[in-house]
């Protein structure tokens, strides 16, 4: 059961993620169709600061909202972006906390947990787009090739990763300087 504080945190991070995602949602990505999204820094921060369910749910809700605004329909995000974002940032949060309990440096924990979460998210996006292309949306014919779907997903999910990881580390350092970073994670 979610507490009211959890619901507030999920709502705040989902809104921030949706808004910041839309800032880059209209950048052309050629034939790949998937959004270029450095805004993943927002759920990365949620993954570090909060429990996995907060990170996962806020990312899923934020991407759902942004995708409906961007594409005008929930069909794409229901099968790809929403489950991918939930799994990615839930796993990132879980992995980050696992590493920190074992006293692994927090920056290394951010990098490794981000890359692992993004990998899982990329596979889910690819499988979702492939499924849509072969069943419900023949207009996505390029994605009917699972190889193409995986390549496109990995390219566009990992393209903003260095920027987002650096931004996440910088924001966490700023929170630490201001005394807002939970000491139990550092």
pLDDT digits (tens, 9 = 90+) for 60-112: 999 999 999 998 999 999 999 999 999 999 999 999 999 999 999 999 999 99
> And the tokens for 121?
């998210």
Is residue 185 in some structural domain? no
Rounded CA separation 68/63 (Å): 8
Rounded CA separation 44/163 (Å): 12
Is residue 11 in some structural domain? yes
Flag whether pLDDT at 183 surpasses 90. Answer: no
Is residue 97 in some structural domain? yes
Domain that holds residue 38: 4-177
3-state SS string for 121-144:
HHHHHHHHHHHHHHHCCHHHHHHH
Tell me, rounded to whole angstroms, the distance of Cα 160 from its chain centroid: 11
pLDDT digits (tens, 9 = 90+) for 120-148: 999 999 999 999 999 999 999 999 999 99
Asked if 37 and 24 count as a contact pair (C-beta separation under 8 A), the reply is yes
Is residue 184 in some structural domain? no
CATH number at residue 157: 1.10.1760.20
Overall number of domains in the chain: 1
Handedness of CA 113, 90, 15, 8 (dihedral sign): negative
pLDDT digits (tens, 9 = 90+) for 20-53: 999 987 777 666 666 778 899 999 999 999 999 9
Is residue 102 in some structural domain? yes
Flag whether pLDDT at 185 surpasses 60. Answer: no
Average pLDDT over residues 151-176: 90
End-to-end Cα separation, the chain, in angstroms = 28
| 3-class state of residue 34 by DSSP | coil
The confidence score (pLDDT) of residue 27 equals 77
Asked if 43 and 157 count as a contact pair (C-beta separation under 8 A), the reply is no
């Amino acid at each position: 059961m979610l507490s009211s504080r959890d619901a507030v945190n999920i709502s705040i991070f989902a809104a921030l993620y949706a808004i910041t995602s839309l800032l880059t949602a209209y950048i052309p990505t050629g034939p790949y169709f998937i959004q270029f999204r450095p805004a993943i820094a927002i759920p990365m921060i949620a993954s570090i600061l909060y429990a996995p369910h907060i990170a996962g749910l806020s990312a899923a809700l934020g991407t759902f909202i942004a995708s409906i605004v961007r594409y005008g329909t929930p069909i794409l995000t229901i099968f790809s972006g929403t489950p991918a974002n939930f799994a990615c940032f839930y796993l990132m949060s879980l992995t980050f906390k696992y590493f920190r309990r074992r006293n692994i440096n927090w920056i290394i924990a951010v990098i490794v947990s981000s890359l692992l979460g993004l990998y899982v998210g990329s596979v889910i996006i690819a499988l979702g787009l492939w499924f849509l292309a072969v069943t419900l949306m023949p207009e996505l014919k390029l994605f009917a090739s699972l190889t193409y779907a995986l390549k496109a997903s990995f390219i566009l999910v990992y393209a903003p990763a260095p920027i987002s990881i650096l931004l996440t580390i910088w924001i966490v350092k700023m929170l630490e300087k201001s005394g807002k970073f939970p000491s139990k994670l550092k």
